[in-house]
Chain A
């Protein structure tokens, strides 16, 4: 861990989440420090996505507390807005706004929720489009782009909010294989810039390169938390060993 602050930037304490009778998260605890890169993996249905979606309250947890940069989700719009300003999110399905050009996708947040002028927002947007290496696509519409390009636009859209934390919810799972790397490259670059990141992914090569901490989830619980060397070479739990064996076979 590279955490150098007393209190973690994100503190998830005793969080439980139910979908009807199904318990998606079972008293989960996780702390993420400033600049820390956490990769969450586990079988589907294990609660990985639900966990990170709780951080910006796309899912509301029923028990426990989630604190981001000293502010705890308490059901008020004040805490919600504070935390959503700090936390950016990238989705499996990109979720770009199909009726807006790439540039308008990027400037909508800065203009409407950060109160920036259109000119400033456009300058900012172009800066981040350069960073994800597609400045020339700014006038196009999402449908005119490849999947990899769309996901990079989605990353740039989140970055335009200048968040402290980026959440990635299986960002490469909907991509054709040849486009996965262009997205992972952007994420690697982002990680090396010191961004605090939580990434749900099955890309174990990326995890090895980038993660400070690996988290393995199964049946709504965090089963194992370890640094990558230990995690990949000698995980404690048998469930984690089984999982890694399955996905690392190829």
Chain B
């Protein structure tokens, strides 16, 4: 992973040396002000990670709960699944964030903090995609697995829990990993309602330092590193789960 980063970093450094337009001093950790700026930018990291992880956990659960009726023989349950997926998928994430933060409190008469507004909006939006991923994954499991489960009298919940989902999740793990990466990136949109995450921190620093090029470049690198770490973890998990079945 570091090997992949090196050329990118070199590119930025070279660009900084070659042109006269860069002013890396704003984020130079060897100077006291630069060090403070870097620390300021990184304080958003926790919120970005926490927001994304909370949202993806909720959206996976909601997505599964929406996917299951979509596989039912009952057409009304299937209808619910279709309506949910089509409706939620049609709303832009930014619009959903604004609606949840400014609209929902008015509707429900309760205040929602930026963090939970962000979590709700991201989770809701992503759940439609998770539902489709789960549906595809579950549908890819051979009918014989259900028949074998029935023949040993497993009920629906046990069949799903012990037989179908463990196999389906192995198959959809790459897709779930993609969604997590997507979520990390989309969490930057929550900055518009004032969530103190990476993007918001960068925006605030730009306003005081007037060095958007350097600060946003650091922001790009922050997301890059974060996402490379996440995709490495997902690949590790994939390998671990596959090794049970193959070999």
The reply to whether A143 and B153 contact each other, CB–CB distance below 8 Å, is: no
Q: Which A71-87 residues have C-beta < 8 A from chain B?
A: 81, 84-85, 87
- The stretch of B83-91, B120-128, B154-162, B210-218 in contact with A is B154-162
Given A93-B144, A98-B167, A99-B245; A88-B158 close (CB under 8 Å): no
The reply to whether A84 and B151 contact each other, CB–CB distance below 8 Å, is: yes
| Subset of 17 A-B contacts with CB under 8 Å | A57-B150, A58-B147, A58-B150, A84-B151, A88-B152, A89-B147, A91-B144, A91-B147, A93-B144, A97-B167, A99-B167, A100-B162, A108-B152, A108-B154, A113-B152, A143-B245, A158-B152
Given A113-B158, A141-B244; A97-B153 close (CB under 8 Å): no
The reply to whether A113 and B167 contact each other, CB–CB distance below 8 Å, is: no
Using a CB–CB cutoff of 8 Å, the interface residues on chain A facing chain B are 56-58, 81, 84-85, 87-89, 91, 93, 95-100, 108-109, 112-114, 141, 143-144, 154, 157-158, 160-161
The reply to whether A112 and B154 contact each other, CB–CB distance below 8 Å, is: yes
The reply to whether A91 and B148 contact each other, CB–CB distance below 8 Å, is: yes
CA distance A97 to B244 in the complex (A): 12
CA distance A142 to B170 in the complex (A): 17
The reply to whether B245 and A95 contact each other, CB–CB distance below 8 Å, is: no
The one of B153, B166, B247 in contact with A113, judged by C-beta atoms closer than 8 angstroms, is B153
B142 shortest CB reach to chain A, Å: 8
B-side interface residues, number (CB < 8 Å) = 21
Q: Which residue of B lies closest to A57 (CB)?
A: B150
B4 within 8 Å of A (CB atoms) = no
Q: Mark B157-185, 1 if CB is under 8 A from A, else 0.
A: 01000110011001000000000000000
Using a CB–CB cutoff of 8 Å, the interface residues on chain B facing chain A are 142, 144-145, 147-148, 150-155, 158, 162-163, 166-167, 170, 244-247
Smallest CB-CB A-B distances: 6 pairs: A109-B152, A95-B144, A95-B148, A113-B153, A89-B151, A84-B153
The reply to whether A56 and B244 contact each other, CB–CB distance below 8 Å, is: no
Q: Which residue of B lies closest to A104 (CB)?
A: B162
CB-based A-B contact count at 8 angstroms: 70
B149 shortest CB reach to chain A, Å: 8
Instruction: Give the residue among B142, B147, B152 with the most A Cβ atoms within 10 A.
Output: B152
The reply to whether B245 and A158 contact each other, CB–CB distance below 8 Å, is: no
Residues from chain B with a CB closer than 8 A to the CB of A91 are 144, 147-148, 151
CA distance A87 to B152 in the complex (A): 9
Residues from chain A with a CB closer than 8 A to the CB of B147 are 58, 89, 91, 95
B223 shortest CB reach to chain A, Å: 34
The one of B153, B163, B166 in contact with A81, judged by C-beta atoms closer than 8 angstroms, is B153
A157 shortest CB reach to chain B, Å: 7
Given A112-B158, A113-B155, A113-B158; A97-B163 close (CB under 8 Å): yes
Residues from chain A with a CB closer than 8 A to the CB of B162 are 97, 100, 108, 112
Q: Which residue of B lies closest to A98 (CB)?
A: B245
Given A91-B144, A99-B244, A112-B158; A56-B150 close (CB under 8 Å): yes
The one of B145, B153, B245 in contact with A161, judged by C-beta atoms closer than 8 angstroms, is B153
Residues from chain A with a CB closer than 8 A to the CB of B151 are 56, 58, 84, 87-89, 91, 158
A96 shortest CB reach to chain B, Å: 7
B12 shortest CB reach to chain A, Å: 45
B161 shortest CB reach to chain A, Å: 9
Instruction: Give the residue among B144, B148, B150, B247 with the most A Cβ atoms within 10 A.
Output: B148
B140 shortest CB reach to chain A, Å: 13
Residues from chain A with a CB closer than 8 A to the CB of B247 are 144
The reply to whether B246 and A143 contact each other, CB–CB distance below 8 Å, is: yes
Residues from chain A with a CB closer than 8 A to the CB of B244 are 99, 141
Instruction: Give the residue among A89, A95, A100, A161 with the most B Cβ atoms within 10 A.
Output: A95
A123 shortest CB reach to chain B, Å: 18
CA distance A91 to B152 in the complex (A): 12
Residues from chain B with a CB closer than 8 A to the CB of A144 are 247
Q: Which residue of A lies closest to B161 (CB)?
A: A112
CA distance A154 to B64 in the complex (A): 30
A84 shortest CB reach to chain B, Å: 4
The one of A93, A98, A109 in contact with B153, judged by C-beta atoms closer than 8 angstroms, is A109
B69 shortest CB reach to chain A, Å: 19
Residues from chain B with a CB closer than 8 A to the CB of A57 are 150
CA distance A158 to B247 in the complex (A): 26
A229 shortest CB reach to chain B, Å: 33
Residues from chain B with a CB closer than 8 A to the CB of A157 are 148, 152
